[in-house]
Amino acid sequence: MKILITGYHGFVGQNLIPYLKEKGHVVYGLGRSGDYLWKDLEENKLPDVDAIIHLAGKAHDTKNQTEAGVYFKVNVDLTMKVFNYFIKHPNIKKFIFFSSVKAAADQVNGEALTEDMPMTPKGPYGESKAEAEKKINEVWSNLDMNQKGSRHVYILRPCMMHGPGNKGNLNLLYKVVNVGLPWPLGAFENKRSFCSISNVCYVVGQLLAFDVKSGTYNLADDEVLSTNELIGIICENLGRPTRIWKFGRSAMSSLAKTGAKLHLPLTTERLAKLTENYIVDNSKIKNALKIDRMPVPAREGLSYTIHSFKEK
């Protein structure tokens, strides 16, 4: 297939493109630089393709320095420009939009997040992704069967992705362990889902290869892990003993509040991301692909990511 990918310089793109090329696909990049530029989209100068994978977006700014309008301009307005291009070109058979579980819920307490739960995003990142989903679904649902034909639209909601080139809280954990510091948040027992980039690439490959039903799908590994278990995996891959300290939860919460004011590594938001429960149900995508399990287990995928940190 000939595939157009936006945001291909990012983490997902840099892992997905080699995967797709190995499968024999021809890949074109669309962005501020590369094969094709945004003005080529506006001037209708893009090549004939079979599918569009829209990765470009404004990622969550953990420092909260990005104005809300920027999220909506990129995550909503730009997304709809690309999606409307897809709609106007019936030769393009598939459109894959990378949203986020944060479009559905900022927090998940006591149960696993499913695609049919009411959407309750919080903050401009999640709200902008949710708005983009809403607009895509509105446009798609208003088309008749003749207009849709044999075309498919997929909205993917990955949870915390990781793999080579990954940036974010997983890097922070790795650095803490790598310098020999004990993990101080052992008193927080949690369960959360992760998503290996290998499983992400597999799902995208399957959606391109087969006519899976259009819809919204969560992306996550099969197993859930606690942050303490994740620390153990990092230590194991570094060949070091696991050192976990269990300071009082209230004391660490107070320290995180101070950290937010003083711009320290541990802030209230980062503490929540590292210690909250966030379980994501991936059964819908597995049922759609007719598989029992994701190809890469959570521990195996995380070990692969840790090794990529070591090599870097």
Spatial distance between the Cα atoms of 140 and 148, rounded to a whole number of angstroms: 8
Domain membership flag for residue 272: no
Name the least confident of 3-17, 39-53, 212-226, 271-285. Answer: 271-285
3-state class of 266 per DSSP? Answer: coil
**Mean pLDDT calculated for residue range 211-239:** 96
**What pLDDT does residue 170 have?**
87
Name the least confident of 5-19, 46-60, 248-262. Answer: 248-262
**What pLDDT does residue 263 have?**
78
**What pLDDT does residue 63 have?**
59
**Mean pLDDT calculated for residue range 226-255:** 92
Res 64 pLDDT > 70: no
CA-based nearest residue to 32, from 63, 78, 84: 78
C-alpha triplet 188, 192, 194: angle, nearest 5°: 135
pLDDT grade, residue 60 (50/70/90)?
Answer: confident
**What pLDDT does residue 271 have?**
85
Q: Which residue has the higher pLDDT, 260 or 41?
A: 41
Please report, for residues 203, 227, 231, the alpha-carbon distance to residue 306 in angstroms, rounded to integers and kept in the order given.
Answer: 22, 14, 11
Spatial distance between the Cα atoms of 10 and 165, rounded to a whole number of angstroms: 9
Res 37 pLDDT > 80: yes
Spatial distance between the Cα atoms of 264 and 246, rounded to a whole number of angstroms: 20
**What pLDDT does residue 109 have?**
78
% of the chain exceeding 90 in pLDDT: 78
CA-based nearest residue to 92, from 30, 163, 159, 17: 30
Spatial distance between the Cα atoms of 258 and 88, rounded to a whole number of angstroms: 52
Domain membership flag for residue 37: yes
> Encoding tokens for residue 192?
């959360």
Contact, 31 vs 9, CB < 8 A? yes
User: 106 lies in which domain range?
Assistant: 2-166+194-221+281-294
Spatial distance between the Cα atoms of 127 and 60, rounded to a whole number of angstroms: 11
Res 211 pLDDT > 90: yes
Burial of 66: CB neighbours in 10 Å, binned 0-12, 13-18, 19+:
middle
Chain-wide mean pLDDT for the chain?
93
Amino acid at 91: N
Phi, psi for 119 (deg, rounded to 5): -80, 125
Domain membership flag for residue 309: no
Q: Which residue has the higher pLDDT, 89 or 181?
A: 89
Domain membership flag for residue 252: no
Q: CATH number of the domain that 286 lies in?
A: 3.40.50.720
Domains contained in the chain, number: 1
Res 264 pLDDT > 80: no
Domain membership flag for residue 237: no
Using only C-alpha atoms, the chain has a radius of gyration, in whole angstroms, of 20
CA-based nearest residue to 82, from 66, 74, 206: 74
**What pLDDT does residue 311 have?**
82
Domain membership flag for residue 256: no
**What pLDDT does residue 61 have?**
67
**What pLDDT does residue 168 have?**
77
pLDDT digits (tens, 9 = 90+) for 145-186: 999 999 999 999 999 999 999 887 788 889 888 988 888 889
Domain membership flag for residue 247: no
Spatial distance between the Cα atoms of 13 and 54, rounded to a whole number of angstroms: 10
Domain membership flag for residue 269: no
